[in-house]
Structure 1
Amino acid sequence: MDNRLALLCGAALSCLALPALAADTDVTIVLNEELETLEPCMSSQSNIGRVLLQNISETMTELDPSNGSLMPRLATSWEETDDATWRFHLREGVTFSDGSAFDAEDVKHSVERTLSDQLTCEIGAKYFGGMAITPTVVDAHTIDIASDPAQPILPLLMSTLTIVPSETPMEFTRDPVGTGPYELTEYNVGQNITLTRRDGYWGDAPTVTKASYVFRTDDAVRAAMVQTGEADIAPLISQTDATNEATDFAYPNSETTYLRIDALTPPLDDLRVRQALNMAVDREAFLGTLIPEGAEIATHMTVPSTLGADEDLAVPAYDPEGARALLEEARADGVPVDTEILLLGRLGNFPNVTEVMEALQSMFADAGFNVKLQMVEVAEWVKYYSKPFAAGDTPALVQAMHDNNRGDPVFSMYFKYACDGLQSGICDEELDADIAKATGTPGDGRAAEWRKVFARAHDISADVFLFHMVGFSRVSERLDFTPTIATNSELQLSQIEFN
């Protein structure tokens, strides 16, 4: 350990028991936050997906981030048998890491488990909300999947659903079993996770034999660990640490930062208060300072490349005096605008997140809001992010990042904005109807319907949108690996080679 890393570790109190790099084909990956679960049906959460997705837990189809095409994975082909049903032909000769054979019953169980009301799977709530999905086994390697309302992009939706054995119980697991090229061989909570290449994988054997994941919250520490050879990849570093052209990569990471408004709780249920929150934020002041200069100011929940994104939606003007006037108008009508509002942030979510949240608190105070900032670890944060919200009757703004790299708003808008959406802080009948219509619209008319959804969310100030983010990663020069837009939510070990 060099002197710089030693000093950083001393400041962060977080570099104990650094792993030594072992075999030439082993890698160490340093992540910015611990995983609160190793459950495959939670792999849509970025920190979990980076470890599990396509390493342990595979999907039926797979999106190619380089060109947006849909590739086979556990399904080799698929076709539409009627307007509401797709038939998937499954790969033969596949086994799970426990030795059991993969077949259509496993797919059926995985669909039913992910969408079950017996456990809250984020994949189910995030990607399959507002629809009924019915799997029907045709034979051991053929399955029909019907949707109501009909889903014209069902094969794309199946690129999100992780497949588990049919014996997997209806409860979260800490020992995931999958068909991927790796299996979990060690898990020391709060310290490290080890995945080891397994024999019997149906595809080509990847070059990486073992991956060790460690957790360090300090951005500079993660960057320094790769620089000194203590780690091979830091998927997330800050812009200020991305100083080495040989090892550091910048990429659009498909994440949108925002504040989720619990808009059913006074005073946040008043439109004028939500408008004032948006007017209180000087978004331009963050760019090139606490937020990378390459980030874009957001007016949508999803990135501008998403189907139906409307570039004409205006960024709320920074106007603290106007925000104060709206609050006074609401106060005169009896709205309890002086109520303390909880501003909840997620530690380690992105570089400088604490400083960003402190600046937002100050901006809200300048506009006349009474805001209390609380920064928490991810295991506590998720209790406020998904229903039932832990804040209860306390009005809250919950800082979050949302990742949609799949090109269609169906992966975002129901669970973020429908009345029954798992992470929706609002309930608006017109918005519900717009989401339902867009979700079931095929072909050329789909973009126009999603544009209506975005416009409605904007008009009712459903949330405080902040930025479409830029990611920075550091990769050891001993590796042949280039981060992409997918790196934020998955890090496939099979894509890593060695120089």
Structure 2
Amino acid sequence: MSPPRSLQQGTRYRAVIAATAAMTVSALAAGCSVANSNHSDAASPDTLRIVLPQEPPTLEPCDASLTSTGVVVRSNITEPLVERNADTGDLEPKLAESWEQTSDKVWTFRIRPDVTFSDGSVFDAADAAFSIDRTVNSTIGCDVDGYVFGDDALVVAAVDPSTVTVTTATADPILPLRISFVEMVPTTTDAQDKVRAPIGTGPYRVDYWDHGQRLSLVRNDTYWGSMPEYTRAIYQWRTEGSVRAAMVTNDEAELATYLGPEDGAGDLGVAYPNNETTALRMMATEPPLDDYRVREAIDYSVNRGGIVKALFQGLGDPAAQLVGSSIVGFDPDLQPTPYDPRRAAALVAEAKADGVPVDREIRLIGRTGQFPKINETIEVIQNSLSEAGLNVKIEMMDTAGQMQYQIRPFPDAGPVLLMIQHGNQAGDAQFTVDQYMRSDGYQSYFGTAQYDAHIDAAEQLVGDARQDAFAAVLADEPEEVRQFAYIAHMNAVLAKSPSVRYEPNSATGDEMRLSEMTRADTNASG
């Protein structure tokens, strides 16, 4: 598949930032609460208390590919037509009972009957078509659009109440996988702007949201599927991992996410692969980063093994690529760039001798709470880069600030090294390379026409040929582009109260399903 790429993507990407900021300001002005009630976080056997590293920037379903949004919204408030099994990678029915490719460019989805939204309205093909169109074809700046669809337009039609067709510009063998990212909302949802408290078909609905304090979901008692055990979930957020862990050990919360091994969860800590890869993304459009030797020197300056061992306490593996082992396209033969400070210094000196302004200040930007030991990781890297002869200044930002540098259009404020953490939720390398490596990618600083052509060729393939082609694409990135210094494939720690049964998996960081959680004092498994 060689999907068309528009050079006018900036309008949608600006809308992502503007809409998120507008929703935050609106929440503050409105007194920060969706519903007025006496809110209590008192312990109850029917309530799950969950503490996150940061407040969701939005609950807008079409932004659910944002980790901090999806962990609350996906499969809790809203649901997709099809969903990916995190363990097997297979697509499974959800709000669609079946789907098939009815012609080269057309996929047909059969809608499950007897499904209602939490407001009581019936879900049918018109809602499905509206949801896809609103997410992909609108100008409201949906993160799912940029992450999954780029600038590709779809023709969506509700043929009858139980049938939806989706037509693509060119044959798309993974269209159902893309559609799995589109959360279903009713046709009454605002099509011109993002929403704060979405209506969905999921097992929970929004009860209240006290901005800056807590967010409550309450069970949707008209849910079409199996009824979840907990009647309520209350989310809070604390930046420090040790504080999150202490809230569980002190019985102030049942679950705490994104902990480090040193945060004090003790026997309540459960380690799991979180499907995230950390890396430095380099702005090669600005000197001195526009010199390949400088970017190569940065790559040699990263002590991946030392960071994983000393800072992550072994919870992770040094990375040689931006996808993990569960992703189609992962190349098991790639080896991480070795830590070689002498080679790094020599490359910087060589560039300096040729007139490259290596003493120009480079901004090293990280997001507060992005992952455990983020501050220490940033400081270690800055020190190594300084020893190599580069002038690097650390800037830690909140989510809103860092997002300006993560997605297009990027501020004219280079040169920048951005700490990123990428979790491929779809299981296919196309969703990584399209956004992070294509020259006009949603989260890419630059690329080359030749490398774009390699990506295009891989996207036309299926099966083993697709695996091999994407493995070659990932292996060629350091030689052809070198936009990244890969750091580590991450593991995470979840603190879990003994009162809860829940087994985290590779999707937990992006989508934490409340319906999979049960009380340990029941006969249910979880």
In the superposition, the TM-score normalised over structure 2's length comes to 0.88
Distance 1:78 1:49, change over 3 A: same
In the alignment, residue 220 of structure 1 is paired with which amino acid? S
In the alignment, residue 91 of structure 1 is paired with which amino acid? R
Moved more, 130-139 or 337-346: 130-139
Alpha-carbon distance in structure 1 between the residues aligned to 2:423 and 2:435 = 13
Map 1:44-123 → 2, pairs under 5 A = 44-116=65-137, 118-123=139-144
| Native 8 Å contact 1:340 1:372 kept in 2 | yes
Distance 1:266 1:120, change over 3 A: farther
| Native 8 Å contact 2:51 2:253 kept in 1 | yes
Q: SS of the counterpart of 1:345? A: strand
Q: How far off its partner does 1:243 sit?
A: 5.3
Q: Which runs of 4+ in 1 moved over 4 A?
A: none
Over the matched positions of the two proteins, sequence identity in percent amounts to 38
In the alignment, residue 114 of structure 1 is paired with which amino acid? T
| Native 8 Å contact 1:181 1:206 kept in 2 | yes
Query: CA offsets, 1:95-154, max 9 Å, x none?
Result: 222332212222222222222361222211111226443222211110111223322122
Alpha-carbon distance in structure 2 between the residues aligned to 1:436 and 1:151 = 12
Picking from 414, 433, 437, the partner of 2:457 is 437
Alpha-carbon distance in structure 2 between the residues aligned to 1:146 and 1:271 = 41
Alpha-carbon distance in structure 2 between the residues aligned to 1:458 and 1:119 = 35
Alpha-carbon distance in structure 2 between the residues aligned to 1:47 and 1:292 = 24
Map 1:470-485 → 2, pairs under 5 A = 470-485=491-506
Picking from 256, 261, 266, the partner of 1:244 is 266
Alpha-carbon distance in structure 1 between the residues aligned to 2:265 and 2:140 = 44
Distance 1:420 1:106, change over 3 A: farther
Query: CA offsets, 1:196-224, max 9 Å, x none?
Result: 01222111211110000001111111111
Map 1:387-466 → 2, pairs under 5 A = 387-390=408-411, 392-459=412-479, 460-466=481-487
Alpha-carbon distance in structure 2 between the residues aligned to 1:31 and 1:445 = 40
Instruction: Identify unmatched segments of 5+ residues in structure 1.
Output: 1-16
- Give the alignment's Cα RMSD to 1 decimal: 1.8
Distance 1:195 1:243, change over 3 A: closer
Equivalent position of 1:7 in the other structure: none
Alpha-carbon distance in structure 1 between the residues aligned to 2:207 and 2:410 = 34
Picking from 204, 209, 224, the partner of 2:246 is 224
How many residues in Structure 1 have an aligned counterpart in Structure 2?
481
Q: How far off its partner does 1:51 sit?
A: 0.6
Picking from 262, 267, 285, the partner of 2:288 is 267
Map 1:350-361 → 2, pairs under 5 A = 350-361=371-382
Q: SS of the counterpart of 1:157? A: helix
| Native 8 Å contact 1:308 1:450 kept in 2 | yes
Query: CA offsets, 1:238-264, max 9 Å, x none?
Result: 11236533x221111110001111222
In the alignment, residue 123 of structure 2 is paired with which amino acid? F
The answer as to 2:197 corresponding to 1:184 is: no
In the alignment, residue 404 of structure 2 is paired with which amino acid? K
Q: SS of the counterpart of 1:256? A: strand
Alpha-carbon distance in structure 2 between the residues aligned to 1:119 and 1:438 = 30
The answer as to 2:383 corresponding to 1:372 is: no
Instruction: Identify unmatched segments of 5+ residues in structure 2.
Output: 1-37, 521-526
| Native 8 Å contact 1:279 1:319 kept in 2 | yes
Map 1:124-203 → 2, pairs under 5 A = 124-129=145-150, 131-168=152-189, 169-203=191-225
Distance 1:325 1:19, change over 3 A: farther
In the superposition, the TM-score normalised over structure 1's length comes to 0.93
